[in-house]
Chains A and B, each alone.
Chain A
């Protein structure tokens, strides 16, 4: 439980993409094999920080995401560690088949670091809000999928991705989000972190929904409902042991993600629970619909991605859990 900042709500909010830019510069200093590619969005994805520090190792590929992934694959065959960045919709959508056949299939050491995921992109609207990127990436053999919750975890996830040998997809956001974790936060690929404990229900979240889950847990606690909160940044490999442990401890699970409820964290948790330990489950996420233009905060509200929605979901699974125990 350590490692969570006590006063996280008072901290200055930072977008995970900002942390990505800083993490890349540090990596560039530590490892000469790091190279970075972007597709004309360097100022937005923050790879521009790296471009400034290491111009000889930064390559703008222009607005051509498929070719960016192909180049990254070629660089990786020679021992380089390429980070290829764009918005999540273009990185995973436009270049999906390059990622599939030229990165995942040959298991090349390419890191696809995408920003502007989810509806919190805001005003640019539905065409630019990736709600399916995790489903796409999670379905690929050999692919590791990371969804950091805050700036601290993003830096650790980027370091872990660079140290790992193989393809990694890292999903980041545009919106400034609360900083939740202290610098000694321990990020390990394949491990979920229990960041709050309670016996009534478990909330398993990732990305910007982790802060909402913590907020929900706090408000529920005031109402006498104690919840466990799990940060599941490593969507793949999934930490089945921790998911099953909290399911056994609480008997009711809510997932929370800024992604379509089809194919992301909710689906992954449902797969594990239904095979090994079925308990009442509610998936908070985007309900199989595209987004639209608007302020990020209003969209998160409109599409059901706030602490209030998580609270409702917890009450719903608790009711089902109690129903079940009444029958028994």
Chain B
């Protein structure tokens, strides 16, 4: 099996390939999360592709549901469904919806897409584990622009109140949202202080550094009494030089030529990733 770095690079290639085929979708925030997702699905989470609804599995909720391509790529690489299905993303009648659908896609634990919902639902799943004394953990990927939604902070309050230390949120802090830099559209800083004030264990890492991500997940797992958020500093469009830090690549698919250039770069492995 490829190592995590290689898997992240494969996932990035899958993202480009499927978005080019779909001719619509969200590359920027999918690429920024590729290393995080690779770590979660290929070293951290307890899941079984042969038994996607296994009751004891760890759960994953993609709160930033528009990054569906990164999740679909990981699920396909993990074996939840054949990789060739990725080419039918967003096509009429196909199961790979524009945003994750738990009733259609094996391995998707919650339907998401409307920002802010996912973290609230993930916290509900974590509460269920507490009620039943089960040891599965709940992982949730949150966007930074997404944290402008009020429900995110309602959920943050409640998860700390109910001491959901089996809940792990990773904030994909790429600093960009559709209308521009997050700090210009609606400033969220100081984010770490806000989460600490809401009663969370806060860790800060480089979201493209596999070792840092892996180590922080281990710290979170051993932390008792509070939910943990890992604020992962990322680059939107990471791995494709012409997409990096470009707000315009939030929700536009690459053309065939652009996809070819992107894939060449990703296969070359020269994106300091």
- Chain A interface (Cβ < 8 Å from any Cβ of B): 35, 56-57, 59, 61-62, 64, 66-67, 69-80, 97-98, 101-102, 105-107
**In whole Å, how far is A299's beta carbon from the nearest beta carbon of chain B?**
33
Residues of A within 8 A of B122 (CB): 74
A-B contact pairs, 14 of them (CB 8 A): A66-B116, A67-B120, A67-B151, A67-B155, A70-B120, A70-B151, A71-B155, A72-B124, A73-B110, A73-B117, A74-B121, A77-B124, A78-B129, A98-B151
| B158 on interface, CB distance cutoff 8 Å | yes
**In whole Å, how far is A294's beta carbon from the nearest beta carbon of chain B?**
33
- Chain B interface (Cβ < 8 Å from any Cβ of A): 55, 59, 101-103, 109-111, 113-114, 116-117, 119-129, 131-132, 150-151, 154-155, 157-158, 161-162
Residues of B within 8 A of A57 (CB): 131
CB <8 Å contact, A97 and B114: yes
**In whole Å, how far is B268's beta carbon from the nearest beta carbon of chain A?**
40
A74 CB contact (under 8 Å) in B55, B110, B161: B110
Known: A74-B124, A102-B121. Is A64-B113 also a contact (CB below 8 A)? no
Q: A74-B127, A76-B124, A98-B117 are in contact. List 16 more A-B contacts (CB 8 A).
A: A56-B131, A61-B158, A62-B161, A66-B151, A70-B120, A70-B151, A71-B124, A74-B121, A74-B123, A74-B128, A75-B124, A78-B55, A78-B132, A101-B117, A102-B110, A102-B114
CB <8 Å contact, A77 and B117: no
CB <8 Å contact, A101 and B114: yes
Known: A102-B121, A105-B111. Is A66-B150 also a contact (CB below 8 A)? yes
CB <8 Å contact, B120 and A80: no
A105 to B97, CA, bound (A): 13
A217 to B59, CA, bound (A): 56
CB <8 Å contact, B128 and A64: no
Residues of B within 8 A of A56 (CB): 131
Known: A57-B131, A62-B158, A98-B151. Is A73-B124 also a contact (CB below 8 A)? yes
**In whole Å, how far is A61's beta carbon from the nearest beta carbon of chain B?**
6
A52 to B207, CA, bound (A): 45
Known: A71-B158, A98-B117. Is A106-B103 also a contact (CB below 8 A)? yes
CB <8 Å contact, B111 and A106: yes
Residue of A nearest to B102 (CB): A106
A79 to B127, CA, bound (A): 12
**In whole Å, how far is B133's beta carbon from the nearest beta carbon of chain A?**
11
A106 to B126, CA, bound (A): 19
Residue of B nearest to A101 (CB): B114
CB <8 Å contact, B117 and A70: yes
A64 to B161, CA, bound (A): 13
A69 to B116, CA, bound (A): 12
A247 to B55, CA, bound (A): 50
**6 cross-chain pairs, A with B, having the tightest CB-CB distances, nearest first:** A74-B124, A70-B120, A67-B154, A71-B124, A78-B128, A64-B154
**In whole Å, how far is A118's beta carbon from the nearest beta carbon of chain B?**
27
CB <8 Å contact, A107 and B158: no
**In whole Å, how far is B152's beta carbon from the nearest beta carbon of chain A?**
9
Residues of B within 8 A of A78 (CB): 55, 125, 128-129, 132
CB <8 Å contact, B111 and A70: no
Residue of B nearest to A56 (CB): B131
A67 to B125, CA, bound (A): 13
Residue of A nearest to B100 (CB): A106
A324 to B128, CA, bound (A): 60
Residues of B within 8 A of A102 (CB): 110-111, 114, 117, 120-121
CB <8 Å contact, B120 and A75: no
CB <8 Å contact, B157 and A70: no
B155 CB contact (under 8 Å) in A70, A77, A106, A107: A70
A75 to B55, CA, bound (A): 13
Residues of B within 8 A of A61 (CB): 158
Residues of B within 8 A of A79 (CB): 55, 128
A70 CB contact (under 8 Å) in B124, B128, B129, B162: B124
CB <8 Å contact, A75 and B150: no
Q: Give the residue among A70, A73, A74, A80 with the most B Cβ atoms within 10 A.
A: A74
A67 to B154, CA, bound (A): 6
**In whole Å, how far is B272's beta carbon from the nearest beta carbon of chain A?**
38
Known: A66-B151, A107-B103. Is A101-B113 also a contact (CB below 8 A)? yes
CB <8 Å contact, B120 and A98: yes
Residues of A within 8 A of B129 (CB): 78
A77 to B101, CA, bound (A): 13
Residues of B within 8 A of A101 (CB): 111, 113-114, 117
Residues of A within 8 A of B162 (CB): 59
A79 to B154, CA, bound (A): 23
A170 to B124, CA, bound (A): 22
Residues of A within 8 A of B155 (CB): 67, 70-71
Residues of A within 8 A of B127 (CB): 59, 71, 74-75
Residues of B within 8 A of A67 (CB): 120, 123, 151, 154-155, 157-158
**In whole Å, how far is A36's beta carbon from the nearest beta carbon of chain B?**
12
CB <8 Å contact, B157 and A64: yes
